[in-house]
């Protein structure tokens, strides 16, 4: 089985820092960032003990394509993608919230609703809704950004503004951008026979301009349904065919893990890891509409380092 890349430890010219996130290693260099999308995988805000081969390449390349395809809606941080696992972009001052857009009652929102919740992040939901039911229109349900090992927390627009996390003026722009990006993502998904169910966006400031950062419309940040058969499955109360990381969460829940205190991550056998890797490749090919061609270089880390160094030399 191809070895997963779960850690990088590079030293680049002009490097001033390294931030290790749940999945990404972000190198600060001059006024830009180099983001390595590793093969680490997280669920329920926990980094799982084994990486998934090719996952980093899949996520990075999907995100790069969607950043390019939405650049007319709002500015984004991307400068280039010098390696299949790497995006380089401008440094931004990050807003401390994530903008989550939902168009269906699915996943964590359904689990909360099923348990009696009728409000998500200040948005009231009617009684009588069913799992996977479409909302009248997309809703924005922000979360606070958590440090590694902590859980993101739902928060309302009113609390975000009241606590001074984001000004009212900036929040209006974030919400507008998020809904327009979601509309574009939904159009592109429909072209592939898919439904964009929900997703998250992160933003920052650069030179006084609100800028889209991080990944966009990937299976780690988004959930997709197959459009074909959606209504029939919904009418029969059957599970939807999904393209998302939800299958990983479901496997964990079936094995007694939801990230709660005292719970242990189930064993990730080679078979489990290989099956997850295959699903990520499937996700890429359906979402992008192209065959996934992995970089299988045996010295992948050395190739990546050389690609990044060449990019830095060109930019400087």
| Sign of the CA dihedral with 234 first, then 231, 183, and 22 last | positive
Helix runs in the chain, H state only: 55-69, 108-114, 157-162, 168-191, 230-236, 246-254, 270-288, 300-315
Q: Tokens in use for 254? A: 């079936």
Q: Which domains does the chain have, with CATH numbers?
A: 15-91+269-315 (3.30.200.20), 94-244 (3.30.470.20)
DSSP 3-state assignment of 277? Answer: helix
| pLDDT of res. 247 | 86
DSSP 3-state assignment of 26? Answer: strand
| Sign of the CA dihedral with 127 first, then 133, 139, and 145 last | positive
Q: Give the C-alpha separation, 240 to 230, whole Å.
A: 6
| pLDDT of res. 183 | 98
SS3 sequence of 147-186: CCCCCCCECCHHHHHHCCCCCHHHHHHHHHHHHHHHHHHH
Q: Give the C-alpha separation, 95 to 243, whole Å.
A: 28
| pLDDT of res. 219 | 86
Unique residue bearing structure tokens 């997963």 = 4
Which of 229, 221, 227 is closest to 286 using CA atoms?
A: 227
Q: Tokens in use for 164? A: 């001074």
Per-position b or e across 119-136, b if 16+ CB within 10 A of its CB: ebbbeebeeebebbebee
Q: Give the C-alpha separation, 8 to 23, whole Å.
A: 11
| pLDDT of res. 89 | 97
pLDDT per position as a tens digit, 42-88? 998 899 999 999 999 999 999 999 999 999 999 999 999 999 999 99
Q: How deeply is 51 buried, as exposed, middle or buried, from its count of CB atoms within 10 A (0-12, 13-18, 19+)?
A: buried
| pLDDT of res. 149 | 47
Low-confidence ranges of the chain (pLDDT < 70): 1, 146-151
| pLDDT of res. 1 | 64
pTM: 0.89
């Amino acid at each position: 089985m191809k070895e997963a890349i779960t850690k990088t430890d590079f030293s680049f010219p002009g490097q001033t820092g390294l931030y290790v996130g749940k999945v990404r290693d972000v190198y600060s260099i001059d006024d830009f960032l180099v983001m390595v999308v590793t093969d680490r995988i997280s669920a329920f805000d926990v980094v799982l003990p084994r990486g998934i081969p090719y996952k980093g390449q899949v996520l990075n390349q999907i995100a790069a394509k969607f950043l390019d395809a939405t650049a007319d809606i709002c500015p984004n941080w991307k400068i280039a993608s010098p390696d299949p696992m790497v995006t380089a972009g401008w440094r931004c001052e990050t807003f401390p919230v994530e903008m989550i857009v939902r168009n269906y009652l699915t996943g964590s929102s359904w689990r909360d609703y099923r348990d009696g919740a009728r409000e998500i992040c200040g948005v009231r939901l009617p009684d009588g809704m069913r799992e996977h039911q479409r909302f009248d229109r997309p809703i924005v349900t922000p979360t606070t950004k958590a440090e590694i090992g902590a859980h993101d927390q739902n928060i309302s627009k009113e609390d975000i503004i009241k606590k001074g996390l984001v000004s009212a003026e900036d929040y209006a722009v974030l919400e507008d951008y998020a809904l327009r990006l979601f509309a574009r993502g939904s159009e592109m998904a429909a072209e592939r026979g898919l439904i964009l169910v929900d997703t998250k966006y992160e933003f920052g400031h650069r030179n006084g301009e609100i800028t889209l950062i991080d990944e966009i419309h990937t299976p780690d940040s988004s959930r997709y349904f197959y459009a074909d058969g959606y209504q029939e499955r919904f009418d029969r109360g059957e599970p939807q065919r999904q393209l998302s990381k939800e299958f990983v969460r479901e496997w964990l829940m079936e094995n007694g893990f939801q990230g709660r205190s005292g719970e242990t991550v189930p064993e990730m056998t080679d078979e489990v890891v290989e099956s997850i890797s295959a699903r990520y490749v499937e996700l890429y090919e359906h979402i992008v509409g192209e065959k996934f061609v992995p970089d299988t270089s045996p010295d992948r880390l050395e190739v990546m380092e050389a690609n990044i160094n060449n990019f830095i030399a060109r930019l400087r």
